[in-house]
Structure 1
Amino acid sequence: MRAYVRTIAARTLLLALSFCLFAATSARAEVYGLVVGIDKYQHLPSLAGAVNDARDIDNALRTMGAKKVILLLDGEATRDKILQSWRDLTDEAAPGDTIVFSYAGHGGQEPERVVGSETDRLDETFQLAGFQNIRPGNRERILDDEINLLFAKARHLKIIFLADSCHSGTMTRGFDSRSGVLRTRLGGYGAIIDDPLPKPTEATAALNPEDLDNIVYFGAVRDDQVVQEIKIDQKPRGALSWSFARALRGNADTDKNGKVNTAELARFVTESVRTRSSGRQHPQMTPRGKPAEITLNVGKPEPDEFERPATLSIVNAPANNSLGGELTNVTLAARENADLIWDYASGDMLTSNGDVIAHLGPTASAADAQAIVDKWLLLRDLAQLAETNPLSVRVEPNDKLHRSGEQIAIQLGGHNHPKLTAFNLAVDGTVQFILPAPQDPDPRYHGNLKQGQPLRFPLKVVAPFGADHLVAIAANAQNAQLINALKKLDGRKAAGKLRPLLRQALDGKTFQLGYTGIFTAN
């Protein structure tokens, strides 16, 4: 679809999720922001994280020194207000300045209004707070053709469009209702009745984003995926918006020079969204038209929170049980505020994002649950360590739920260092050292990497089922301290012991780190 929106992901009006890299090409260049977040819909299912997203991005833009930011939340974000705010910013901005336009809320699709203008015969839309498919609410939407026209009229500016929304697709994996309420940013609706919006001209409908070299998009999901709100720091969020705001605060500054460029932003956001969503979202960067390199001045990255305990909800347990008192590094919480949910009756352990990560069984002890908690805390540490130096670790062919006997593979790529260390955190929390294994007859396990050559490991799905997590670390030399720690803990439920040892072994070292979950079922 020739729409900006379309370009990105989720076949959305580029809505699909675009992401930003703004900055200045000269010392005088300024950054402006138009930030929209809508949770409270009058006629569509409400969301819970879009306003959190908008406030976070607004704060990040102001912190990094944006000259002017317009924040529109819920009912304030009307069609007229958004379009007028855009005009105000483009009128004030000078050539070479950057405008960041971010949207968090529902997206949708409808039949194209100019026949033949879209390859899939569908226009993509932002659905605003008062939207419905009949008058007067059907005016409260913005279409991809309109967005394209806005951008085409501002070719003297750099534009960053972040759309934490989707227009079509399905869930990567199912959502277990024991984890709470599932909220997605796909707002389906019927045919528009008595449309009050003017039909675009054929010229407007034919606008091609590839003709513009001043725009950078980041898509939060692929066309076949849905944007699911997830829990981050005990708050509902969009993974794209959270990652983007964190990048602006300096966490994407790989070389620690106080600036973030296009490549750093792309790498950071891509891996951060995938990791934080447990592979449920794969952001798509679509810089059509070869946009100019953009560099953004940023501050120091946010500090990591390694010591914060996990929050756990125990459900379907006997009244007045003492299970919580037997666990360490855990704060008991209501299900809606928990990182992990332990269904005591079935023995299943779930994440707040709807995945069953372990089947402990109905006779599971507090020690069994502790092993999963320790593993989850280690994964949180790994996610933070991986942010500024990510290594791509992917499940092939996809991150769906894989069944017993299925053939899959792990692929590593994007490495800049020649030596590899890898280990697995099994379903039950067992540490399993994998490589380097220099005596193994298969050279892939020797721990050597060649730049530009991905490494692929075929696997077959077998019991026990749940979620394994394969961790890979690339460095210029093998880390003897880390390897010795992994060998000593190999075969033990010792993620809790590995946490401080891993941080100590990596402290002050140059490395890339990545991990991926492998979700399985019988």
Structure 2
Amino acid sequence: MSAIRVALTVFCVFTFSIASASANPSLPLFLKNPDGAAIRALVIGIDAYQHVRPLKGSVADARDIEGALRSMGTTDVITLIDGQANRTSVLQSISALVQRTNPNDQIILSIAGHGAQEPETIKGSEPDGMQDVFLLSGFEPTPEGSKQRILGSEFNHFIRQFELRGAKVLFVADTCHGGGMAREVDPRAAQMSFRQVPTYTLTVDKLVPVQNENDPVTDLDLDRTTFLAAVDRNTKAPEVKIPAIDGLRGALSYAVARALEGSADANGDGKITLSELFSNVRQVVYQLSDQRQNIVTKSSPGSSSSNNVVFQLTRGLTVQPPANLPNGPQVAMADANPKASSRAAPAISAAPAAPEPQKSDLVANKIMTPIRLAALDGNSKNFPNFSSRETTVEIVPPLENPDLIWDPKSRDVISWGDVIAYQIDPAELVTVIDRTAAIRELKRIATKSPQPVRIAPDDAQHHNDEPVQIEMTDVAGRSVILFDISGDGTIQMLYPIGSDAAPTQTGSLRLPLRVRGPFGAEQVVVISTTQRLVDLEQALLQLNRRKSPGQMIKVMAKYLPADARVGSIGFFTAP
């Protein structure tokens, strides 16, 4: 895209940053309940569905969240994988967790797998009369198979039990229940995986819901609970590619795991507030899903998102695990993450502190993970001998999870359901390959400390001469650099140009643009820092209007400081 800037608008959102002294960085970093009580978790991940379409990343999601919790000192983590997650074991595990819960405990419930919708069992609980349902590994629409599901109202029943024992609850639902999408998938793309099954009919329903008269009617009736859902009730949640990680994953679970490891502490004060948690996870999911996914966040009425501290980060010494952990066979527990299982819960700690600063870890050298390229017709003879300067290239069949699919008839390049570039000759593919490698690296960095940035008016495909707007928040007192990488690899500097303010004097920036060709994928990169990066600005200006995505990575690796926030989001254009 050759974007044309129109009038730049700014608006104020006042933000405050609280600094604190770091504790001894030689001590391990732990996740702590700010109320001093325990953190306990039940984590469920299901890929191996027996009677409906299997998934590809839910088990990895569960292992990731389990590993993040254990590595951060949480010992009471029960993980149910695939067939372990049958209705009996789930109800037994969550009931046992209720029994060992104490006042002020922080309970984490996480489920990754298929979702569905059914007519509500509690009248008036949903505005549209449909309730969310979580499908277990043995579900099928038969009398016996109908038992293998958990109703959303049943989770609310157990959440109420936790609250009655004085606990707080964080519920993470990496599933989907609706059928829409932010953008339609190009029919030439490889099949995408979504966490939602088609509508079914239960002629005989043998499930007997767990419920009583004290159950909440809606989520709003809960008092100490936070919800994170992969998408809203009308949208499908895709399984996505995570940079430098094999296979597919759920973007929400991945983002939550990184947040639990401390990445959500935006201001470095050693505390993760509800506002920081929501903002961090929302932005990471938005970026990793190529703007197909907008999470839903909810908290109990009366909860202050800016003042409510969900977790603290402390540096401390390890001691014996807390009492009241499960013993014996009454709870089905999967094997712990071997890398993380040696970490114990913190008891003696220094002052709250964020992780010690790290150098920017942008990779400036040749990226070794290959870009997988396929011809839509399966004929690899169309391709020349590629000599990419930035990465290696692996030619694969179109059904073997390629990063890029080239259509020899139209010469379009497709990636994960979107057209990246139109009318690209074989000799020009090397620049698109280099761009793909560069953006993969940018996405990886942008999950570390993301700069909030969005595309307006929506995440649909945009057409010639349409207005779009880049909206950045939480930039008060920060210098901002904004540039675009077109589908053919062309760099375009967008901000600052000329008299643009740096640092920004207001809390948010809006940069209006108008769509121009060449069309395809646009990757907008936002960098915000506490000090102006004049050398980086000048280096990027030298790359302006050049097809140099690999050189852009090298420039960022040279000049990007450790405290930089990076946002990397795409939007998609067509003639």
Give the TM-score, by structure 2 length: 0.78
User: In 2, distance between residues paired with 1:324 and 1:34?
Assistant: 50
Against the structure 1 CA distance between its residues 202 and 115, is the aligned structure 2 distance closer, same or farther, given a 3 Å change threshold? Answer: farther
Matched, 1:359 2:412: no
Computed over aligned residues only, the root mean square deviation of the Cα atoms, in angstroms, reads: 2.7
Compute the displacement of 1:238 (Å): 0.6
Q: Is the 8 A contact 2:175 2:229 kept in 1?
A: no
Against the structure 1 CA distance between its residues 170 and 204, is the aligned structure 2 distance closer, same or farther, given a 3 Å change threshold? Answer: farther
Q: Which of the numbers 379, 384, 404 marks the counterpart of 1:323?
A: 384
Against the structure 1 CA distance between its residues 201 and 39, is the aligned structure 2 distance closer, same or farther, given a 3 Å change threshold? Answer: closer
User: In 1, distance between residues paired with 2:38 and 2:458?
Assistant: 40
Q: Is the 8 A contact 2:496 2:502 kept in 1?
A: yes
Compute the displacement of 1:321 (Å): 6.5
Which residue number in structure 2 is paired with residue 235 of structure 1?
A: 247
Trace 1:154-169 onto structure 2 (pairs within 5 A).
154-155=162-163, 156-169=166-179
Which residue number in structure 2 is paired with residue 332 of structure 1?
A: 394
Q: Is the 8 A contact 1:114 1:199 kept in 2?
A: no
Which residue number in structure 2 is paired with residue 287 of structure 1?
A: 299
Matched, 1:518 2:571: yes
Q: Which of the numbers 309, 324, 341 marks the counterpart of 2:405?
A: 341
Which residue number in structure 1 is paired with residue 161 of structure 2?
A: 153
Q: Which of the numbers 222, 242, 246 marks the counterpart of 2:258?
A: 246
Give the TM-score, by structure 1 length: 0.86
Trace 1:31-430 onto structure 2 (pairs within 5 A).
31-155=39-163, 156-198=166-208, 203=213, 206-232=216-242, 233-256=245-268, 260-291=272-303, 292-297=308-313, 306=363, 307-315=367-375, 316=377, 319=380, 323-328=384-389, 329-332=391-394, 334=396, 335=398, 336-344=400-408, 346-351=410-415, 353-361=416-424, 363-365=425-427, 368-430=428-490
Compute the displacement of 1:277 (Å): 0.5
Q: Is the 8 A contact 1:417 1:449 kept in 2?
A: yes
Unaligned residue ranges in structure 1 (runs of 5+): 1-20, 440-444
Compute the displacement of 1:519 (Å): 0.2
Unaligned residue ranges in structure 2 (runs of 5+): 1-29, 316-354
Compute the displacement of 1:258 (Å): 5.7
Q: Is the 8 A contact 1:327 1:370 kept in 2?
A: yes
Q: Which amino acid in the other structure matches residue 486 of structure 1?
A: L
Compute the displacement of 1:342 (Å): 3.6
User: In 2, distance between residues paired with 1:60 and 1:238?
Assistant: 15
User: In 2, distance between residues paired with 1:410 and 1:43?
Assistant: 44
User: In 2, distance between residues paired with 1:177 and 1:305?
Assistant: 34
User: In 2, distance between residues paired with 1:304 and 1:419?
Assistant: 20
Identity %: 33
Against the structure 1 CA distance between its residues 151 and 199, is the aligned structure 2 distance closer, same or farther, given a 3 Å change threshold? Answer: closer
Larger mean CA deviation between 456-465 and 62-71 belongs to 456-465
Q: Is the 8 A contact 1:22 1:158 kept in 2?
A: no
Against the structure 1 CA distance between its residues 298 and 261, is the aligned structure 2 distance closer, same or farther, given a 3 Å change threshold? Answer: farther
Compute the displacement of 1:391 (Å): 2.2
Against the structure 1 CA distance between its residues 308 and 88, is the aligned structure 2 distance closer, same or farther, given a 3 Å change threshold? Answer: farther
Compute the displacement of 1:201 (Å): 6.7
Q: Deviations over 1:166-186 (max 9, x none)?
A: 111312112235442211111
Q: Which amino acid in the other structure matches residue 512 of structure 2?
A: P
Compute the displacement of 1:146 (Å): 1.1
Which residue number in structure 1 is paired with residue 6 of structure 2?
A: none
Q: Deviations over 1:467-513 (max 9, x none)?
A: 112222233343111111011111111111111111221134x4333
2:571 match: secondary structure:
strand
Compute the displacement of 1:358 (Å): 1.1
Which structure is richer in relative contact order (CA contacts within 8 A, separation 6 or more)? 2
User: In 1, distance between residues paired with 2:224 and 2:124?
Assistant: 26
* Structure with greater helix percent: 1
Q: Is the 8 A contact 1:215 1:288 kept in 2?
A: yes
Against the structure 1 CA distance between its residues 91 and 308, is the aligned structure 2 distance closer, same or farther, given a 3 Å change threshold? Answer: farther
Against the structure 1 CA distance between its residues 338 and 298, is the aligned structure 2 distance closer, same or farther, given a 3 Å change threshold? Answer: farther
Q: Which amino acid in the other structure matches residue 359 of structure 1?
A: Y
Q: Which amino acid in the other structure matches residue 514 of structure 1?
A: G
User: In 1, distance between residues paired with 2:174 and 2:161?
Assistant: 23
